[in-house]
């Protein structure tokens, strides 16, 4: 009886210890993740690419993508993750932005994606048709690490230039003082871990997802 009780206590103590270590590791990882979020000075503003890809989620992203297109830093702008029922004019109206005259025909909307993995998949399909070899990826700074993880896995060999944008509601500096930002980063870090684990098990993307190479 006593031995059984002691054994049970040891098991419980061990489980609690393991759980505590996991929590500490997660918190340490969150601190690392938050500290590694790109800063405004980290963006490579001037390097031209074949195309610009914007992941929907805020007017700042779409505005940045349009500005890059109009600056001549890409041949086309692909906006991934647009709801299927949203037409191009509706998108501009919803976000309060629009391409300048002569640029609208260089904007392509992707309607197939519902998450970051879907963004990578539908972008890879579009890139394959176009034969592009370099992309500038526009998304929120806090989302960039996970987006790059998915895109690099789906399109190995593709040149990807990160172009982070900085939503005003996300307080990167001293993020721990702002509950909303802390919760946002905690969720994003957890999603990043899940994506990393999935990709570690899955391995490289299938050949059909890779962009076609241009003929020499």
* 48 close to 73: Cβ distance less than 8 angstroms: yes
Q: Given a cut of 90, is residue 189 above it in pLDDT?
A: yes
Structural domain includes residue 35: no
Range of the domain at 79: 40-209
- Count how many domains the chain has: 1
Instruction: Note whether 112 and 121 are within 8 A (CB).
Output: yes
Region 170-176: what's the mean pLDDT?
92
Q: Residue 79 belongs to a domain with what CATH number?
A: 3.40.50.620
Average pLDDT over the chain, rounded to whole? 87
Domain assignment present for 9: no
In a domain, 85, yes or no: yes
Digit-coded pLDDT (tens) for 39-86: 876 667 788 999 999 999 888 999 999 999 999 999 999 999 999 999
Q: Is pLDDT at 166 greater than 50 in this prediction?
A: yes
Residue 18 is assigned to a structural domain of this protein: no
First to last CA, the chain: 78
* Coil/strand/helix, residue 86: coil
Q: Say if 151 falls within a structural domain.
A: yes
State the Cα–Cα distance between residues 199 and 58, nearest whole angstrom.
Answer: 27
pLDDT on residue 31: 92
In tens, the pLDDT along 126-151 reads 999 999 999 999 999 999 999 999 99
Reported as a single tens digit per residue, the pLDDT across 102-132 is 888 899 999 999 999 999 999 999 999 999 9
1 in a structural domain = no
Q: Indicate if the pLDDT at residue 215 is higher than 50.
A: no
């Amino acid at each position: 009886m006593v031995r059984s009780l002691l054994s049970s206590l040891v098991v419980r103590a061990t489980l609690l210890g393991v759980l505590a270590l996991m929590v500490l590791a997660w918190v340490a990882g969150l601190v690392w993740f938050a500290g590694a979020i790109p800063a405004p000075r980290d963006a490579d503003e001037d390097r031209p690419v074949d195309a610009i890809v914007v992941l929907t989620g805020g007017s700042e992203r779409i505005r940045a993508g349009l500005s890059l297109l109009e600056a001549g830093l890409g041949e086309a702008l692909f906006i991934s993750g647009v709801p299927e029922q949203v037409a191009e004019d509706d998108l501009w109206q919803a976000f309060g932005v629009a391409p300048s005259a002569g640029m609208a025909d260089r904007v392509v909307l992707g309607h197939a994606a519902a998450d970051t993995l879907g963004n990578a998949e539908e972008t890879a399909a579009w890139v394959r048709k176009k034969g592009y070899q370099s992309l500038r990826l526009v998304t929120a700074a806090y989302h960039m690490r996970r987006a790059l993880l998915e895109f690099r896995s789906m399109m190995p060999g593709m040149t990807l230039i990160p172009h982070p944008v900085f939503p005003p509601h996300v307080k990167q500096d001293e993020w721990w003082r702002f509950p909303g930002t802390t919760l946002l980063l905690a969720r994003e870090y957890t999603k990043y871990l899940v994506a990393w684990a999935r990709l570690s098990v899955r391995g490289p993307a299938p050949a059909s997802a890779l962009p076609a190479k241009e003929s020499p």
